[in-house]
Amino acid sequence: MEALNSLLVLLNEPLVQFFLWTAVLYIIASVFVDRRVAFWIGLVSATAFWIKIHGASVALKGWGIVVAVLLIVLGIKKLFHLNVVLLLKGRKRCPLCWETAHRKALICPYCGHRFSSQEGAGE
């Protein structure tokens, strides 16, 4: 019962509600368009609805979090030449055909490229 109460307290937080609305609108948009486009459609439309109903402060905090995460991921990619998304998925990218393969694969299943030991996960 205490876990349910703490969950209800969390769901009453405006920032959590903003991201829940973003997720719902993302799911609806992903039915019609590509998931990358759907994310931005969900975020922009949630921002528009949120500002119209509640004001801009929470929406700006939400955008700040999204931009911060985006900058961190892009910074890691630029500084360390590491694709965080592929690394988290346990995949690596083939330098010839640009398809993704399992990070422990020795040969690309699509084009037959033999990976060197330096071609690690997430590259």
Mean pLDDT of 23-31: 94
Its pTM stands at 0.69
pLDDT (mean) for 35-54: 92
- Token pair, residue 42, equals 């969900």
The answer for residues whose C-beta is within 8 angstroms of residue 122's C-beta and 6 or more apart is 82, 83, 84, 85, 86, 87, 91, 92, 103
| CA separation for the pair 12, 14 (Å, rounded) | 6
Give the 3-state DSSP-derived string for 2-58, with helices as H, strands as E and coil as C.
HHHHHHHHHHCCHHHHHHHHHHHHHHHHHCCCCHHHHHHHHHHHHHHHHHHHCCCHH
Average model confidence (pLDDT) for the chain?
A: 89
Residue with tokens 């393969």: 101
Does residue 119 carry a pLDDT above 90? Answer: no
- Residues 17-32 have a mean pLDDT of 94
Mean pLDDT of 41-47: 94
